[in-house]
Structures are given as C-alpha cells and as structure tokens.
Amino acid sequence: MRSIFIFILLFIPFLLQSQTRFLDSLFSVEIQSDILYGNNTNYDGTSQDLFLDVYFPSGDTMEQRPLIVFAHGGSFLAGSKDNPSMVALCTRFAQMGYVTASINYRLGVDYFEVLGGNGEEEFTYATLRGTHDLRAAIRFFRKDASTENLYGIDTSLIMAGGSSAGAFMGLHAAYLDRLEEVPEEIADIEELGGIEGNSGNEGYSSEINAAINLCGAIGDTAWIESGDTALVSVHGSEDQTVPFGTGNVELFGIPVAEVHGSSVIEQKTTQTFTTHQFMPFWGADHVPYDPLAGASEHEAYMDSTVYFLKTSLYEYFLGTVTSSDAVPTVERDFVVYPNPSRQGFVFAALYADDAEAVRVYDLYGKLIKKLSPEKEKVKIALKRGVYFIEVQWKNHTRTVKKVMIR
C-alpha cells in the first residue's frame, strides 16, 4: 500500500504537466453578473443601461489573462446574455484560463418602418447599435485594466464576436473601421459617435486581436483589407437564416439586406492574406450548436465548435498545438500534407477505425469526393482552389480542415 501511495505522489506532477492552459479544463468558474458597462439610446429614443456577465477561472494566479467577449444571437430582435450557447462558451473558455464575458446589447427595430419598405435601413442601424455596444464592452475592460484592474485582463489579447447577430457585430467591429466605409443608410454617423459610438468608456481602444464569427455575415467584404484582423469562423452550409454565401437576411419574414456569409468571407481573407480559420458544418442549418435551435446533435456541434475555437486561438496567439494536444480521445484528428500544394495532397486519418465518413468539398459546399474511411492514407489530386476535408467520426463529432491548391 505504501509503495502505491508513493507511486501516486510521484505520478501527480506528470498528470499536471499533461494539462495545458487555454486547451484543457483546469479551473472551476466564478461568475459576476449584471455589471454595468455602458448606456445608450434605443431605436425608439428610450435610454438603456447595458450589462454584462464576467466568467473567471476561479483560483487562477495568473495576473493577465486573455479576454473573449461574446454576444448572443436573435436577429437583433431578441435574446440575452443568458443564452445557453453563450453561457456554455463563456464557461468552457473560463475553465481553460480565459476571462470571458457575455453581453446584453440594444435590440429592436421600428416594425412599421420595416413594413413600409425601409427594412435595410432598420437592419443596418440595428447592426451598428450592436457593434457600438460591443466596442463599448471592449473599452470597458481596457478602462478597468488601466484603473482598478478588477478582471486581470491582458489588453494585448482580446477577442470578440459571437453567434448569429453577435457574429455580425464581431465582424463589423473588426473590419468596419473607417468612416468612409459606413453604409449610406447611416446618414447621422457623426451624431451617433462615428465608428466607436456613444455607448460608454470613451477614450479607450476597442481594437481586437481576433474576431469570432459563429454563423454570421458581413455587409461588405471590401472592408477586409490586406493583413487585417485575424478571424475564426464556423457556419452551417445549409443555413436558412444567415446565408453561407451571399444572400438576404430577413426581419419579421421580410428580406431586408444582402449580406456575405462565411464562405464568401473565406474567399476574401484568402485573397488579402488575412489570417482565417474556417470550419463549415456541411449540411447543417443555422447555429446547430445552440439547443434553442433544436438540432438533436447540438452538444456534439458545441464540442466541435469549442475544440475548433480553442485550437485556432491557441495557435494564433498562445503557442503551437502539438500532435498530442491535437488528438484528444473524444475528438480524433487527421493530417493533410503538403498544404498548401501545387498539385495535390496526401490525406492521413489518425485513428482511422473511428472515422465514419470522409468527404471533400469545394469552397461553395459542393461535394467533390468521398474517401474511404478504412484507408489510412489517400493521395488526392485536385484543380487549383480552396477545399475542405471533413471527417465525420463515430462519436458524432466532426473535424474540418482547409486545403489550398495553388
């Protein structure tokens, strides 16, 4: 018995070393709710206080932690910071050592204006209000870091975005960064506080290091310029709410604005050499990870979303994911090489026995090839372009990687 006890004591340090901050769940989570971060005027002229919830890694002694600010979806008409997807994302990233926040922001449009044919203007203003509020939340944390420092934020590592409407806000906060880019529907941008807005915490930067786009879209891809803000995206290829490509969004069932979804954003980021990791959910509808959307496999989609986000952000800013990190027991992995390539590539599935299906899609979601999951290595020749390889695993998760043929 004594020898077993000594063995356990000796083995504990190796167990601790195998856990990696920002990749593994290391902490319990402490939540501070309903923190006032700003105030601004609603579409109907009323005043609204703006609140957020902060999620901390409890007991963490690190003095400066990366921050992720999440915003919920709801077509700019509904929703709150208590959305189950936002709570799940905030909790899981706080467990890894991030500080996270879920925000409320101004909602609503003039219904009669939409019915009267001014839906595009109403949607554009709603997007701008949300983006102004998100910027104010980012400034709130920078203000705290330079004053009371209650939250222990590393102001050089701030990410922001969210789900659906919240993803619109993250994309616009990242790329709508000059007055001349503001859509012509916004005639009073100066009165509204310009790009930054009047939602609070004036004088602090709202710059972010990466935008998080979960099933969102952007008003104009021309805003994405060479070497612009880094981006991480997921999107269902059969999204009927926010287009995967270019299409219309609706308010109250009325088409109101043409926007550009994640597959088109992927094209533009490739052209401008903007850092972008994109995972399509082939065959999935809108926000399949959100239990409120009703997808039966929402937990598996959330697991895949979290895994993709955490590894992408880690590789961007925090380190390199080693092969042992990248092949967790519940979410298998595969490799493709060389990538990018001038002719073709080799696909190799790790834990091939766990693969249920392997598919190759083009940038627009067209199925190009089906590969045999039983084969450990397959050589593939493709024409010039951007492709995605998806492996669907037997545990109902999926892994997607981008391949470029030059």
pLDDT tens digit string along 120-155?
A: 999 999 999 999 999 999 999 999 999 999 999 999
pLDDT at 390 (0 to 100): 83
Backbone angles phi and psi of 152, in degrees to 5: 60, 50
Cis omega (within 30 of 0) for bond into 338: yes
| 241 plus 368 within the same structural domain | no
Question: Coil, strand or helix: which one is 378?
Answer: strand
Edge-to-edge strand list for the sheet holding 246-251: 217-218, 254-261, 246-251
Q: Out of 293, 318, 343, pick the residue that ends a domain.
A: 318
Q: C-alpha 385: how far from its chain's center?
A: 24
Taking the C-alpha atoms of residue 361 and residue 346, their distance in angstroms, rounded to an integer, is: 16
Q: Out of 292, 318, 344, pick the residue that ends a domain.
A: 318
Measure Cα distances from 390 to 13, 95, 287, 341, 387 in Å.
37, 28, 18, 18, 10
The residue range of the domain holding 143 is: 23-318
Taking the C-alpha atoms of residue 291 and residue 240, their distance in angstroms, rounded to an integer, is: 17
| 73 plus 184 within the same structural domain | yes
| 258 plus 394 within the same structural domain | no
pLDDT tens digit string along 7-47?
A: 334 444 444 445 789 999 999 999 999 999 999 999 999 99
pLDDT tens digit string along 168-193?
A: 999 999 999 989 899 888 989 999 99
Taking the C-alpha atoms of residue 298 and residue 318, their distance in angstroms, rounded to an integer, is: 28
| 314 plus 346 within the same structural domain | no
Backbone angles phi and psi of 256, in degrees to 5: -125, -25
pLDDT by residue for the chain (406 residues), tens only, comes to 444 333 334 444 444 445 789 999 999 999 999 999 999 999 999 999 999 999 999 999 999 999 999 999 999 999 999 999 999 999 999 999 999 999 999 999 999 999 999 999 999 999 999 999 999 999 999 999 999 999 999 999 999 999 999 999 999 999 999 898 998 889 899 999 999 999 999 999 999 999 999 999 999 999 999 999 999 999 999 999 999 999 999 999 999 999 999 999 999 999 999 999 999 998 899 999 999 987 788 898 999 999 999 999 998 988 755 433 333 333 466 777 677 777 777 776 655 667 788 888 877 677 888 887 766 677 788 887 778 888 877 766 677 888 878 7
What domain count does the chain have? 2
370 within some domain: yes
- Could you list the beta-strand ranges (E) of 237-343: 246-251, 254-261, 276-281, 334-337
Taking the C-alpha atoms of residue 161 and residue 89, their distance in angstroms, rounded to an integer, is: 12
